[in-house]
Structure 1
Amino acid sequence: MRKVDSIEEYLEVNSHFAEALDVLRQIINSTELVETLKWNAPVYTLNGKNVLGLGAFKNHFSIWFFNGVFLKDERKVLVSADEKTKALRQMRFESLQDINKPVVLAYVNEAIENQYLGKELQISRNEKAVIMPSILNEAFKTAPLFKESFQQLTSGKQREYVEYIESAKRDATKASRLDKIKPMILKGIGLHDKYRNL
């Protein structure tokens, strides 16, 4: 997906779900959450902390709850994106008709309450089978689309990006390298792809 500079542009790029995403935006914007654009997607924050985000894919769209593991989910509408996802949960929709406004608002309000209560999953480092740079893990926590794009890469391409970040000695260099590779990962391009085509 190409880089977008505004929420409106995000809706334009995802025109197949634009109307439905706008309905979700209206529900979320009726709360105290602050709408921002992070890592090419709408993200909603409370006191600077990411609470939830919107995502659009080919066949569905969703609300990502960054600490969704703490939501009661009495209606059993939340799914875990993959087996490795500890805290993230998503509420998926396939059409505008799937949106039950009172239910969505109830889940959003519970996520806000949980944020006020400071509920945040602490993952111990020894639980991770693959050692990712902490800067990359932080980016994944706040950018579900970026994480999904990374996971769709081959393991070899993932390794190249991890090594590229880890080989930097200074944190500032790691951060600048991360900024450089984000657009490539979002496009599904490997770090060394341009050399492979020679």
Structure 2
Amino acid sequence: MDVQETEVQTDRILTVPNALSFLRLLGVPLFLWLILVPQADGWALVVLLVAGFTDWLDGKIARATHSISRLGQLLDPLADRLYIAATLIGLAIRGIVPWWLVILLLSRDLVVGLYLAALKRRGITGLPVHFLGKAATFNLLYAFPLLLLGDGADAAGIDFHDVARVAGWAFAIWGTVLYWWAGLLYIEQARRILRHR
């Protein structure tokens, strides 16, 4: 559960970055429906790609226009976490990823979330984002579309799906390691703050 590393520069709610984050949140149930009900993997991939692009774009716009807001600091990491959870659960239900991977990644969010809740009770709203957390999220958000692509059947001897599957698992493994490593760094930061308080 990451938070923005920069200070709030506006208290406005209606900003372009916040609108993009809100649209990303609306895409979570759409993605789950697409992957589970009609199993329209192509459209599900489009939703993931649009979510990834708007994730990058909202941060870029917020910094460029000095419109970093408290709401944006909540919406952006919330959307990231929900996309990771929804994608993992959807892929696990389809049998594309094993359930142990779902448990491993979601348990990290639960553990870090408990520490963040303890900090919040003491008036601290979050921890600074570090590069490791961003790299972990980046790896995972690349892994899931590739794993979904890798689930298709090879046609006419083309091994595109095999390549996507291997690349997807490489991103997933690195992403999981980095995700937990970043989580342990957040936990250590939180413990230091709680000790001093």
**Class of the TM-score when normalised by the shorter of the 2 chains:** under 0.3
TM-score (normalised: structure 2): 0.27
Larger relative contact order (CA 8 Å, sep ≥ 6): 2
> Going by fraction, where is helix more abundant, 1 or 2?
2
> Going by fraction, where is strand more abundant, 1 or 2?
1
